[in-house]
Structure 1
Amino acid sequence: MDFAITIIEQIQKPTLAFLIAGMMLAALGSKFEIPEPVYKFIVILLLLKIGMGGGIAIRSADFMSLIVPAIGAALLGITIVFLGSKTLAKMRGVAELDALATVGMFGAVSASTLAAGMTMLDDSGIAYEGYIGALYPFMDIAALVTAIVLAKLSVARQAASDVQINGDGTVLMRGPTQPASGQELDGTSEIVRGIMVDTFRSPAISALVAGLCLGILAEPNTVFKSFYEPLFRGLLSILMLIMGLEAWSRFAELRKVAHTYILYGVTAPIIHGLMGFGVGLIAHQLTGFSEGGVILLAVMAASSSDISGPPTMRAALPDANSSAYVGTSTGLGTPVAILRIPLFMALTDWVM
């Protein structure tokens, strides 16, 4: 019953509600559309705000206390993406691009889940570090960038394996071949280097990193609070409406493998949360990281992005199916992660 209630609550929240509204409009044949320049402007504003918020949190934190859990958070985000690339992305019938976008969302962090965890700890009288919110961008950006790079690398490899230009100028479409090991290493490293550069130059990641640098190095608090924060939720709802319209057109291809995404959405938050719990214990041994900090690191690892992920993935991987990555992360991952918070609290109490 608790799970059902949490699912309903998530559906009623703007992130999923506007996505579903967009899908309904498309299903009814509506001609509703948002002009492309307006969409791009919305995405840039959203990502600048997310980056700035993270940068402001980092600037106000104690650097020496922050460094060990921050490294742990970044490694967690990267590890979760690589784990998903070897599990969900390898499942039969699952499109690798959609899977990598999904695991990127699960490697990133849900602000609402983190807030729920903080509230539960406050109610229970469990103390935690004041800089805990500053760990958010480390895990978030590391996971999103890793997922985008892996997705673009997959697309590049597929394109390279499917097309061969012959000496006479004709084009041969074929399957992948096995090049010599040295040749493969050189080719792969060159592709990875190009994709890394392209990813950090892309509008989505550029806006996110620019906002982060502004938050750390400048003092944008005034414009952040007066302009970016009031607009944020409204702009995010418009973005989700756009993604809902697009998701409907690709909903049919998802139905065939929906059970795989459901299984991942239910089990991944628990596994990821236990990984975060382990990293938190290491930070506790090294730096005296608090019991509340260990719980919240587990909560962050268990969560899946509901704010930074959708605009980043939509801008960086426009061909990925949004009904797969948003539906799985927000529709299933978030409720499961929130319901697991008491488990992490009990586990920490037992171990520590």
Structure 2
Amino acid sequence: MLDLAINNLLSPIVLSFVLGLFAALARSDLSVPEAVAKGMSLYLLFAIGFKGGVSVADHGIDPRLLGALVAGVVLSFGLPLIAFALLRGISGMSRTDAAAVAGHYGSISIVTFVAASSVLSDAGIAAEGYMVAVAAAMEAPAILSALWLVSRGSGGGRMTAELWHEILLNGSIVLLLGAFAIGMITGKDGLDKIASFIVNPFQGVLCLFLLDMGLIAGRGLRQGSSVLDRGAIGFAVLMPLVGAGAGLALGMVLGLSTGGVLLLMVLAASASYIAVPAAMRVALPEANPSIYLTLSLAVTFPFNLTLGIPIYLAAARMMTGG
């Protein structure tokens, strides 16, 4: 596990993130134009969705796919309840802020998922292609859990038409599922036609994207440190381990491969910083974005990227014998 952790820390994608983090903390004027960052995000979502669809087309649909989808939805609904209880127990956060943060930890970080996929590829470990569909299924249920948690108190989250639109037609979900469908329909022949676009440049684009993520995380640490206590920061490191443990248990029950178990662990361990923040702005405008964005992007994301993924892969290998 130590060798894997060192190799992961010294990989181009992690070092690119570290470079961005250092630049932001050192107050460098290095920046990635917003349009470029958006373009890279679209590229990564399309590439991972398309390749997942091709994998399913080659492998075929089986009961484990449906089981994995159900497991993903259960995790997305259930993990915010655990996260909320932990936050209320170890931090001084208000009910509304704790619920908003909890919602982030039931949803997923697609970039962490992509990074874990890259680690598997480098290690020559295969994974079920339908895990991309599981990732998409885990985006939205956590938002509903967060609103339910608030509704039990005095806050009263708002289920408006605008929020339902944000949940069901979120751009990342639409693109990920759409690319997945295209990959399933066109299969390996379709992949061969555009391999030079979505296979060969993938690692380089991921490095640049993580450079931008490092810049954003560094700025978040500078701006959000004043509103976070030690309990909240401790939660942002503890909760990924709790989620990964739940993902490991369900992955073993489903009989997933070593790669599939790892990806389910990563999905359960990651925290959203795209879909859920957008929904929280609509549903819980009184929640403090400096809290939930800093915890998910500036604490949990770097932890998963540098230490979490090697730990999860070692656990998946030990439990599956892979």
| Structure 1 length-normalised TM | 0.69
CA distance in 2, matches of 1:48, 1:271: 28
Residue matched to 1:164:
none
2:212 alignment partner, one of 212, 231, 242: 242
TM alignment of 1:1-352, pairs within 5 A: 2-3=1-2, 5-63=3-61, 66=62, 68-90=63-85, 91-92=87-88, 93=91, 96=98, 97-105=100-108, 109=113, 110-112=116-118, 114-115=120-121, 119=125, 133-147=128-142, 153=147, 176=154, 190-191=159-160, 194-218=162-186, 220-251=190-221, 252=225, 253=227, 256=230, 257-280=232-255, 293=256, 295-304=258-267, 313-314=273-274, 317=277, 320-321=293-294, 322-345=297-320
List per-residue Cα deviations over 1:33-87 (Å, max 9, x = no partner).
1111111111111111111111111222223xx2x10111112222222232011
1:263 CA drift (Å): 2.2
1:305 CA drift (Å): 8.3
Q: For structure 2, which runs of at least 5 residues remain unmatched after alignment?
A: 279-288
Q: For structure 1, which runs of at least 5 residues remain unmatched after alignment?
A: 120-129, 162-174, 179-186, 281-292
1:214 CA drift (Å): 1.3
Is the 1:145–1:199 Cα contact (8 Å) retained in structure 2? yes
CA distance in 1, matches of 2:176, 2:275: 12
Is the 1:99–1:325 Cα contact (8 Å) retained in structure 2? no
- Aligned partner of residue 201 in structure 2, secondary structure: helix
Is the 2:248–2:316 Cα contact (8 Å) retained in structure 1? no
Over 3 Å counting, the alpha-carbon distance change for 1:88 and 1:177 in structure 2 is: closer
CA distance in 1, matches of 2:172, 2:34: 15
Over 3 Å counting, the alpha-carbon distance change for 1:262 and 1:304 in structure 2 is: same
Over 3 Å counting, the alpha-carbon distance change for 1:210 and 1:80 in structure 2 is: same
CA distance in 2, matches of 1:55, 1:269: 25
The percentage of counterpart residues that share the same residue type is: 18
1:98 CA drift (Å): 4.4
Letter of the 2:84 partner, please give it.
Answer: A
Is the 2:247–2:268 Cα contact (8 Å) retained in structure 1? no
CA distance in 1, matches of 2:216, 2:57: 38
Name which of structure 1's ranges 329-338 and 317-326 shifts more when overlaid on structure 2: 317-326
Letter of the 1:86 partner, please give it.
Answer: L
1:105 CA drift (Å): 3.1
CA distance in 2, matches of 1:223, 1:17: 32
Over 3 Å counting, the alpha-carbon distance change for 1:231 and 1:177 in structure 2 is: closer
Over 3 Å counting, the alpha-carbon distance change for 1:142 and 1:260 in structure 2 is: same
List per-residue Cα deviations over 1:120-157 (Å, max 9, x = no partner).
xxxxxxxxxx9x52232232211234346656x589x7
1:17 CA drift (Å): 2.1
